[in-house]
């Protein structure tokens, strides 16, 4: 089954689809191994990972595209790209959608902020007109070659104009051809419920965003499902967890002047190699390398089998 079709099925299912945010290939693989059925690329995470900079529109389209393609190739589950504002007007959106589709993404987020955009939970956001964003969504729907490729239209209008304008835009973007509506940064549980009552109850698929430390209260996935949400992204938890883990380990390394005391803070060599797919590489070597090549690398044919068994 195509990943686009699989993602569409997951969004159509009565159960909410939870999509943790991946900031790189390793985090995407961990998300898949944990049992989640789809991955959301995190522009916030990309900016922190690739640049060590905040999510304020510093990444280029090419940087995001290449990073997204690598993530797509690292997992077997559907990946939704983060297309920010589409990197320009409606004409730019056409190329953005087609490039992400060709990269193997199953869908893309497109938002109505003014470029350079910023994280949806930061202050200082601006949005383009409803009319301009409608044209961008129409262009995105027209540009896709696969009808199952998901257009996830995000509105940041709540921060600028309030909930009613967010609802008005959500309805307009849905009519323009979006498959999912992402209402960014509601301020309360009542507001989350308002969007569900006004939009999901009328057949519009809506998505919530549970951002650790953000403006929206953290609600359980089960409660969001009961409200009527089709999807929930958890965009930054993975990179926050990684940063905390590395900070704790490096601080101890600096204090102890040895890494002998870090067993509880790091994965063992063999376990990490398994996580990143070394056993699969060993299988390919056993299948396609000549006996002479194996002997050169491992000393004997049995040497490769030992490597496979030990995961080294």
Determine if the pTM surpasses 0.85. Answer: yes
Does the pLDDT of residue 58 top 70, yes or no? yes
Average pLDDT over residues 225-249: 98
Cβ atoms < 10 Å from Cβ of 112: 28
Residue 251: exposure state from Cβ atoms within 10 A (0-12, 13-18, ≥19): exposed
CATH of domain 3-235: 3.20.20.60
Does the pLDDT of residue 192 top 70, yes or no? yes
User: Are the CB atoms for 283 and 293 separated by under 8 Å?
Assistant: no
- Number of helices and strands (H, E) in the chain? 15, 8
DSSP state string for 104-172 = T-SEEEEE-BPSS---TTSS---B--HHHHHHHHHHHHHH-SSTTSEEEEEE-HHHHH-HHHHHHHHHH
Cβ atoms < 10 Å from Cβ of 92: 16
Does the pLDDT of residue 309 top 90, yes or no? no
Where do the domains of the chain lie? 3-235, 267-310
Rounded to 5 degrees, φ, ψ at 167 are -65, -45
pLDDT band at residue 307 under the 50/70/90 scheme: confident
Does the pLDDT of residue 308 top 80, yes or no? no
């Amino acid at each position: 089954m195509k990943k686009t079709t699989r993602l569409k099925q997951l969004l159509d299912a009565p159960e909410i689809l939870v999509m943790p945010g991946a900031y790189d290939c390793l985090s995407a693989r961990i998300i898949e191994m944990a049992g989640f059925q789809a991955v959301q690329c995190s522009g916030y995470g990309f900016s922190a990972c690739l640049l060590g900079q905040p999510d304020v529109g510093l990444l280029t389209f090419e940087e995001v595209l290449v990073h997204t393609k690598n993530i797509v190739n690292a997992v077997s589950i559907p990946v939704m790209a983060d297309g920010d504002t589409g990197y320009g007007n409606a004409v730019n959106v056409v190329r953005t959608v087609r490039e992400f589709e060709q990269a193997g993404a199953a869908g893309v987020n497109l938002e109505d902020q003014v470029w350079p955009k910023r994280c949806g939970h930061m202050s200082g956001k601006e949005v383009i007109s409803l009319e301009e964003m409608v044209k961008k969504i129409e262009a995105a729907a027209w540009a896709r070659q696969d009808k199952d490729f998901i257009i996830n239209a995000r509105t940041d209008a709540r921060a600028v104009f309030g909930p009613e304008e967010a609802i008005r835009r959500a309805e307009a973007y849905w009519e323009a051809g979006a498959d999912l509506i992402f209402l960014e940064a509601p301020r309360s549980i009542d507001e989350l419920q308002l969007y569900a009552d006004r939009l999901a109850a009328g057949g519009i698929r809506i998505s919530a965003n549970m951002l650790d430390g953000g403006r929206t209260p953290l609600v359980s996935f089960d409660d969001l499902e009961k409200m009527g949400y089709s999807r929930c992204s958890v965009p930054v938890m993975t990179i926050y967890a990684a940063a905390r883990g590395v900070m704790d380990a490096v601080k101890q390394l600096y204090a102890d002047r040895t890494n002998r005391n870090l067993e509880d803070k790091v994965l063992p060599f063999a376990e990490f190699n398994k996580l990143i797919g070394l056993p699969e590489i060993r299988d390919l070597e056993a299948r396609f390398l000549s006996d002479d090549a194996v002997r050169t690398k491992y000393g004997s044919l049995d040497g490769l089998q030992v490597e496979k068994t030990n995961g080294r």
